[in-house]
A and B are shown apart, each in its own frame.
Chain A
Amino acid sequence: DAKTTQPPSMDCAEGRAANLPCNHSTISGNEYVYWYRQIHSQGPQYIIHGLKNNETNEMASLIITEDRKSSTLILPHATLRDTAVYYCIVRVAGAGSYQLTFGKGTKLSVIP
Chain B
Amino acid sequence: DVKVTQSSRYLVKRTGEKVFLECVQDMDHENMFWYRQDPGLGLRLIYFSYDVKMKEKGDIPEGYSVSREKKERFSLILESASTNQTSMYLCASSSSGQGLNTEAFFGQGTRLTVV
Secondary structure of the A contact surface, majority rule = loop
Contacts of A32 in B (CB 8 A): 99, 102
Contacts of B48 in A (CB 8 A): 98-100
User: How many A residues face the partner with a CB closer than 8 A?
Assistant: 24
Instruction: Report which of A94, A99, A102 forms a contact with B96, defined as CB distance below 8 A.
Output: A94
Instruction: Report which of B45, B99, B102, B108 forms a contact with A99, defined as CB distance below 8 A.
Output: B45
Minimum distance in angstroms from A110 CB to a CB of chain B? 21
Contacts of A15 in B (CB 8 A): none
Minimum distance in angstroms from A63 CB to a CB of chain B? 18
Q: How many angstroms between the C-alpha atoms of A51 and B98 in the bound complex?
A: 11
Judging by beta carbons under 8 Å apart, are A44 and B102 in contact? no
CB interface residues, A 63-107, toward B, < 8 Å: 87, 93-95, 97-105
Q: How many angstroms between the C-alpha atoms of A47 and B41 in the bound complex?
A: 21
Judging by beta carbons under 8 Å apart, are A46 and B103 in contact? yes
Question: A99 and B106 in contact (CB under 8 A), knowing A93-B98, A104-B41?
Answer: no
Instruction: Report which of B40, B43, B44, B105 forms a contact with A46, defined as CB distance below 8 A.
Output: B105
Minimum distance in angstroms from B105 CB to a CB of chain A? 7
Q: How many angstroms between the C-alpha atoms of A75 and B62 in the bound complex?
A: 38
Question: A103 and B31 in contact (CB under 8 A), knowing A42-B109, A43-B90, A43-B108?
Answer: no
> Which residue of chain A has its CB nearest to the CB of B100?
A93
